Chain A
Amino acid sequence: MNDDQAPVLICKDLSISYYTRAGEIPAVVDFSLTVLPGETIGIVGESGCGKSTVAMAIMQYMGANGGIKSGSITFKDRDLNQMSESELRRIRGSEIAMIYQEPFASLNPSLKISTQLMEVPLAHEKISTEEARQRALQMLSDVKLPDPERIMDSYPHQLSGGQQQRVVIAMGLLSNPSLLLLDEPTTALDVTVEAGIVKLVADISKKFGTSQIYISHNLGLILETCDRVFVMYSGEVVEEGTIDSLFTWPRHPYTHGLFACIPLPTADKNAAPLKPIRGQLPLPFERPQGCYYHPRCDHFKPGLCDQEHISMAHVEGSAADHRVRCLRYNEIDHHLQTPDGEVKKALELGEQVLEVDHMKKYYEVRDTSLRALISGKRVRYVKANEELNFSAREGETVAIVGESGCGKSTFAKVLMGLEKGTDGEVRHRDKDLSDIAVRDRSAKQIGSLQMVFQNPFDTLNPSHSIGGQISRVIKKFGVEKDKKKIFDRVMTLLDTVKLPRDFYFRKPRQLSGGQKQRIGIARAFAGNPSMVIADEPVSALDVSVAAAVTELLMDIQREQKTTLLFISHDLSVVRYLSDRIVVMYLGHILERGTTEQIFTPPYSPYTEALLSAVPIADPEVTKREIVLEGNLPSAMNPPKGCPFCTRCHRRIGDICDNEPPPEQVVVDRHVIKCHIPLEELKKVEPVIHVPDESERLHARH
């Protein structure tokens, strides 16, 4: 069986360029990779580092303006670069399959799942329709989809995102490929759904012996799925190694920088804040001489790092295949560097600023169908928010956590006055705002409640200059009246968000994503708000940029004693920056308490599942595995009893289905909504175990 160990794919000294009107843009340089049978390779890096280009090159699907400049791609002893289009067509989809980011874009919305699945074996092999159907059914149950017959008979829009992605993976596996390329397969999915897909992906190689290349920006996901990992920066691999070796002893300063940007369980916003990498990713045609990373590196040595192009070198004294592209990796003692990050002072909490009291928000949906007319049920309600209760104090960071559709954005809309609450009160500084539309609020009220939006590419109006957009806010809220003073205030704000002053004249399209988000923050703070709602402000940004923006947001908060309402689905970010957490599911608050209380038992079962779903980029942190079955129920038709009863792994019986759960107070302000008695919830083991510093591998060395 020696043949089996022959590599499936060998990329050797690969250089890939795009050709545009501006000239040649080298996207990937000097890339080498060997994939063994059954092995899962992770490629990690920030956007623009060339990781997707590598996948496209392996598929030989570069588009009109891309091309492989030099090097070879050998797939099972055949050179892919030399193949004709018809030979490639036979290989694509049958021997190399690819899975893309967005499942709903990969499936044809007008064909049934059965047609799309059966097409794969029918196109590549000579088999009967019946046989193809059997194969498809078998594969659907292999990717753990419940009721494959029903799935076969449905159209893509009738399935949820997670189910769609499982179908896409099934489609990729149907022809039993030797190599599966996964390009950020879970980015578009919710955390609990993501956890299921990740588990499935991790099982594929065991079950089918398929080699995989897993592309992701998330180090935590790579850790959970891969055997070996390649870290890419600006078009080249800077470090490669086995998961254990690279995650425990990262050698390259960039890899180190990446780890310092992720809110690991050991990070703390005051004692051990994140350390963003300074500077920006260089554009492909502006890459510096020598090491591409040297302008951003803390260990840069003039005359050494900025001379010749650096090649990959084997790390001395490590496992066979840990390699790094750094001349000084042996001299740098990362361990000395890490702990001395600046220590920031915790903010003292002031008086209560926000109080949400039994707030409800129902949307009316008028059903005009004939059936509704006959049955008399003309109006139905989408219960977006049900009985919300929580409070926030001055200078406090309160996080609202939940998956998409849990009603967290609806709450933000009511608070901002874009929607009116159905019942209950939302008191801001003792004034009920829930039924005052934004237009009827005073300039002072509006100015004291501002928002940072999610999508950096959407948050600024592309038609107006940066300066104009910030000045408008200042004028509108009447902070300053005089033209000169408004201008000065904009300059101060640009300084506060650490952007150059001449950005005043720029248009949004001249800014990067992180810069736009900084302007969004400057705009929110222009009216001296007492409370800022941040709706997933960093989820669309790259790791290092997100760290910088997160730190910025918290620095301004510290300075201005602002209350921050942080809406997010990412528990690791939330753990890092918030003082209190509100866990929402299907419009209900299932648990609320301080960050400490949320992350230690007793948990609500949903919190427990969420915690287990968060990928953590630390191989020594152990987690208890809880994978939720099923999908989020529709808010139009929620379960009668506990909202979580359909997916709960700790369901105790009919009471869960039929009666709404009571609020159980653990201690003051820590409340769990569940039928299970508190005593039992307290006995639950912690989900995440973080080893002490002394227990750690690298400490023992």
Chain B
Amino acid sequence: MSTTATTTQMPSAGYGAALWRALKSFGLLRESWVGMVGAFLVLFWVMVAILAPLIATFDPNSSIQPFAKPGMVAAKGGTFWLGTDHIGRDILSRIVWGSRTVLIYAPLATISAYTVGILMGLLAGYRRGWVDDVLSRLADIILSFPVLVLYIIIIATIGASGINIIIAITFASSPGIMRIVRGLVLDLRNRDYVAAAQTRGESDWKVMLVEILPNARGPLIVDACLRLGYVIITIGVLGFLGLGLPPPDPDWGGMVNETRQMAMAFPHMTLFPCIAISSLILGFNLLADGLREISLRD
């Protein structure tokens, strides 16, 4: 056919290439120092969660020696680097183990909220008409409730557990995600490549998921990072309100709640969990800023 027949090979398995691309886009983050700081904070907490059994010096749930100040040496050996709480549990160990709770439930809740929000947004934006009307009004109703009230109602009705936290967060934040997705879809659905897919008879879901969604990923990734931060706050708030994970499992919000009456006398009991929460949230927010900066540049 062609005179300049080059030998182009068929593509091999795509996973290696995909991994390489992901690494390369992470390399891009180096160009934004804000993003680097954020990534460092997040990675720090991820490592802490993974290495929890090695870092934690005590059992997080056993009461050893109440009201120990930071740096005190325990009677049976070992140091309470961050002190102990009113029932004598080591605060460092509880924060370290508590990072696992946060870093498991926050991403799970975010993913779940995004799945629901993206599906609703795609349907509303692509189908338009009554589907859009129904879904948008539903979202308006949910968004018109004060978020906190919504959480309290949901958790109080279905009970406090890990799964129920995920359900409550999904219910409360998917309408917001839906609105973002819907707005992006309204723009993207008029592109010629969408028309091209329609004219070759692709099904609606194929058009939505293969043609439209990948092109909405930029703003969604940035929003997901921010939202992860909010979800961590939410999990903290739920713990603080006593609606988080049932005790005695370590939970950062719960730790603040249990010790807040003694905060004036023993500030270390509330201060350290608070620092943990804010540093993780700050990490995600800075990461989001960095990603946005890079996505604007390209």
Contact = CB atoms under 8 A, between A and B. Distances in A.
Interface string A460-490: 1111100100000100110000011001000
B235 to A, nearest CB: 33
Interface in B195-237: 195-203, 210-211, 214-215, 217
Nearest to B1: A495
B198 to A, nearest CB: 6
Contact of B201 (A441, A451, A461): A441
B261 to A, nearest CB: 54
A476 B192 CA distance: 18
Contacts of A502: 6, 8
Contacts of A450: 199-200
B200 A500 contact: no
Nearest to A505: B11
Contacts of A438: 198-199, 201
Given A441-B201, A477-B200, A501 B8 contact: yes
A698 interface: no
Interface residues of B, number: 25
Contact of A476 (B193, B200, B215): B200
Interface in A437-456: 438-439, 441, 443, 446-447, 450-451, 453-455
B1 A492 contact: yes
7 contacts: A418-B198, A438-B198, A451-B199, A461-B193, A462-B215, A463-B215, A505-B11
Contact of A461 (B2, B10, B11, B215): B215
Contact of B196 (A441, A443, A459, A477): A459
Among B6, B196, B210, B217, find the residue whose CB has the most chain A CB atoms closer than 10 A: B196
A523 interface: yes
B8 A476 contact: no
B59 to A, nearest CB: 49
Interface in A419-453: 438-439, 441, 443, 446-447, 450-451, 453
A476 B199 contact: no
- Give the top 9 A-B pairs by smallest Cβ distance, nearest first: A463-B214, A495-B2, A453-B192, A501-B8, A458-B192, A461-B193, A459-B192, A446-B201, A416-B199
Given A467-B11, A500-B6, A460 B199 contact: no
The number of chain A residues touching the other chain, given as a range, is 35 or more
A683 B231 CA distance: 79
Contacts of B10: 483-484, 487
Contacts of B211: 461
A204 B8 CA distance: 58
A488 to B, nearest CB: 9
By DSSP majority rule, is chain A's interface helix, strand, loop, or mixed? helix
Contacts of B191: 458
A473 B211 CA distance: 13
Contacts of B6: 500-502
Contacts of A487: 10
Contacts of A492: 1
A436 B76 CA distance: 83
A402 interface: no
Nearest to A454: B192
B1 A439 contact: no
Contact of B199 (A418, A458, A504): A418
A417 B11 contact: no
A504 B8 contact: yes
Given A459-B192, A462-B215, A476 B202 contact: yes
A552 interface: no
B11 to A, nearest CB: 7
A312 interface: no
A491 interface: yes
Contacts of B196: 451, 453, 459, 520, 523
Interface string A511-528: 000000000100100010
A469 to B, nearest CB: 8
A447 B201 CA distance: 9
Interface in B1-28: 1-2, 4-6, 8, 10-11
B193 A491 contact: no
Among B195, B214, B217, find the residue whose CB has the most chain A CB atoms closer than 10 A: B195
A694 to B, nearest CB: 41
A446 B214 contact: no
A441 B203 CA distance: 12
A455 B192 contact: yes
A364 to B, nearest CB: 13
A72 to B, nearest CB: 35
Nearest to B197: A461
Contacts of B2: 495, 501
A484 B199 CA distance: 25
A521 B77 CA distance: 77
Contacts of B201: 438-439, 441, 443, 446, 476
Contacts of A443: 201
Contact of A446 (B195, B199, B215): B199
Contacts of B195: 418, 451, 453
A504 B7 CA distance: 12
Nearest to B8: A501
Contacts of B215: 461-463
Nearest to B200: A476
B105 to A, nearest CB: 31
A491 B8 CA distance: 8
Nearest to A495: B2
A473 B200 contact: yes
A446 B200 contact: yes
A283 to B, nearest CB: 18
Interface string A663-699: 0000000000000000000000000000000000000
Contacts of A439: 201, 203
Nearest to B297: A21
Among A447, A453, A463, find the residue whose CB has the most chain B CB atoms closer than 10 A: A463
A491 B11 CA distance: 13
A601 to B, nearest CB: 38
A464 B18 CA distance: 12
Given A487-B10, A495-B1, A502-B8, A460 B200 contact: no
Contact of A458 (B4, B5, B193, B217): B193
A505 to B, nearest CB: 7
A438 B204 CA distance: 12
Given A454-B192, A484-B10, A417 B200 contact: no
B8 A459 contact: no
A461 B194 CA distance: 8
Contacts of A483: 10
A501 B214 CA distance: 25
Given A418-B195, A501-B8, 5 more contacts: A446-B200, A453-B196, A459-B193, A464-B210, A504-B8
Nearest to A484: B10
A549 B26 CA distance: 38
A57 B217 CA distance: 38
Nearest to B203: A439
Nearest to B3: A495
Contacts of A418: 195, 198-199
B199 to A, nearest CB: 5
Interface in B179-199: 191-193, 195-199
A495 B8 CA distance: 12
A460 B4 CA distance: 25
Contacts of B5: 495, 501
Contacts of B193: 458-461
A458 B217 CA distance: 17
